[in-house]
A and B are shown apart, each in its own frame.
Chain A
Amino acid sequence: MSTPTTVLFDAPGPKARVRHLIIAIAGLVLLLLLLGLVVRGLANPRNNQLTAEKWTPFLQGSTWLDYLLPGLLSTLKAAGLAIVLSLVLGILLGIGRLSTIRVVSVACGIFVEFFRSVPVLVMMLFAYYFALYVLHLAGNQPFFGVVVGLVFYNASVIAELIRSGVGSLPRGQREAGLAIGLTESQAMWSILLPQAITAMLPSLISQLVVVLKDTALGYIIGYYDLVRGGQTFSTNFGNLIPTMLVMAAMYIVINYTLTRIAHAVERSLQRRGRAGGEPDESLPGELTQPPVVTQL
């Protein structure tokens, strides 16, 4: 937003520039004051969080090798497996919902709507106890719980993405496919689906961010993810707040990178003029906007 595109305000004249400068400085001072308050809170004599011994552990290799990196690795492992499985299930569900066979489309619709309304954590708890009491998975039930909980929810979201992606394609695409003698399902798999997935690629990538963030819920069912690793580590040194700040920074860096990639893909798709149906709308992110906000 360095060059605002709104016409909410004129190019500032000399007076307005002075006024903006004053407000900017006032805002900065307020921000610094707030920051100062936080720092004073962190550095209070009873419980100083800014002392060197709370931060130096992050310079030791063992901190990263024994706690944070294994945690990050299992976070990535669960997220990776979950996204692959939910892509497969989501594409199947999305196509199922568009199926011309009524029973299939209704069943897929109910499945998608149900699992979209159930919180990921509730699903994770269920899958965890299911693995514990029914499947008797020794020791692996947290991993099972995290992955299954994530897959059911995100597959439903991806199914909706696929459906709106197919819906955004011009009708002629399917008709042309049928006209050259393809069957409904051939037209779906070789004409509509590839275009829908391309159009929905930015949203699919931002869904990765959601999956990655939601793996942190695994902490609650005892999965050894980044949050759990950081917490275990921080009990040794009594430095919970520094650890949380470091963990947040790790999440932010990864997720922000993914978001940037999603935007870059979106822009390059728009340049190729294949960002779905109506590229003439004034809002560039129109097509991807609802799904991008849906998930969180």
Chain B
Amino acid sequence: MTLPNAPLVPLGWQTIGPFFPRTFFSEGDNDLTRLAPNAEPTAQGQPIILRGRVLQEGGGPCVNAVLEAWQADAHGHFRHPADPNHAKADAGFMGWGRAWTDADGAYDFRTILPGGYTDATGTRAPHINLGIIGSGIMRRLVTTLYFPAFAGANAADPVLTVLPAELRPRLVVQPDGEQDGTPVFRFDILLRGEPHEETPFFLD
């Protein structure tokens, strides 16, 4: 007997398996700065490129992993009603993108440097949320990326500080030069490895 208003149970996750359709990807899906592939990129914020590799146990590439990124706009606002400041959000910024890894395990995103914000949990440092799905990954693996320029904010971030201090630097992206004048940051992900190498993930 289900009582009135008794919650339903979320469905079980299952892996995407090895055959997630390539035709699901379109040009520009990995560009968070545009609302649509043919839209102009947002005029607000510092454009950046985020790139890295997804590696599996032993250090080999994790091929055909799907990465989904979500972040605030340059001022730390989300264009979503759960953000009390959503009316102030950048109307030209998508904030979401999807990338998939190639034979080398490599991925890249184009986005802007996110802003931080304060909510009931504290003051969030600028960050990008990343979800990873792939063959053999039965439930999405989630982690969060931080930027080296905000050491003070990172040290107070209510999510990053959940990690033991020695693991926190693992979630800070590394500056990696420029591409056509746009700063590049690198974030390699090791899905499984020795404790000091494996990427920290959060309970989804």
Partners in one complex: no
